[in-house]
Structure 1
Amino acid sequence: MPYSNYLDWYKLTKMFNVSRRVKMAHTFIARMKVFPDKVEQFIDTCERMEKAVAEHEPNCLMYKFFRLREDNAFAVIESFKTEADDQAHQETEHFKEIAADMIPCLDGGYEREYLDPLT
């Protein structure tokens, strides 16, 4: 496993440990396909979104994009303290600006799958 992937995995597991204690209330994974010629632009927008969310949204517990093993396929795991925090996220200026750059990259829409903690 390359170092950067290991570091991301380490951060992810640390985040889930913290999130379990917070009792994740609103968590989902969204999967999407990207046009082959838009992959680099999409990755750039993902990195911008992760940074903006980390800097401006204290009620976001996790916001991390992943490349799936299928060609041109990606996913994002998002976790917010409440559903209202997710709604507020979608109303932020940084979300609107970055999503406008992200949407033309998508080959179709995206699909959300909600995740509920076992305990």
Structure 2
Amino acid sequence: MSKVTFVSRMLIKEGREAEFVQRCKALKEVVRKTEPDTLYYEFFKLREPRRYAVIESFASAAAEEAHMTSPALAEHAPGIVDCLAEPYVREYLDPFEAPKG
């Protein structure tokens, strides 16, 4: 099983940043409590105005799928997406060398 890691970059609608941050914090708390195979899940404020990112890392593709279909994401994601000014951009991150085995 290979680890899955990605970064998603987002532009937030004007006047919606506080709501976005609140919603992301709520989701992060649930993910940390209920998804043991989510290895890393952290939101960041970028230096450009209204720009944010989230880095997510999962123990396996199955763990990523479990997260993407989780009740927590189904509950919180629509409100987060509604704060976006444009579609988010996801970039998958692969290590220089894949693990042997």
TM-score between both structures, scaled by the size of structure 2: 0.90
Instruction: Quote the offset at 1:42 in angstroms.
Output: 0.3
State the AA in 1 paired with 2:29: K
State how many pairs are aligned: 97
d(CA) in 1 for partners of 2:11 and 2:62? 27
Quick one: which of 37, 44, 58 aligns to 1:80? Answer: 58
Moved over 6 A (4+): none
Instruction: Quote the offset at 1:118 in angstroms.
Output: 2.5
Tell whether the 8 Å contact from 2:10 to 2:53 is kept in structure 1 after alignment: yes
Instruction: Quote the offset at 1:60 in angstroms.
Output: 0.3
Tell whether the 8 Å contact from 2:2 to 2:61 is kept in structure 1 after alignment: no
Which residue does 1:50 correspond to in 2? 28
* Residues 1:68 and 2:46 aligned together: yes
What secondary structure, in the 3-state scheme, does the structure 2 residue paired with 1:89 have?
helix
Going by fraction, where is helix more abundant, 1 or 2? Answer: 1
What secondary structure, in the 3-state scheme, does the structure 1 residue paired with 2:16 have?
helix
Identity of aligned residues (%): 37
Runs of at least 5 residues in structure 1 that lack an aligned partner in the other structure: 1-22
- Residue-by-residue CA offset, 1:54-83 (whole Å, 9 max, x unaligned): 000000000000000010000000000111
Instruction: Quote the offset at 1:100 in angstroms.
Output: 1.4
Tell whether the 8 Å contact from 2:4 to 2:57 is kept in structure 1 after alignment: yes
Runs of at least 5 residues in structure 2 that lack an aligned partner in the other structure: none
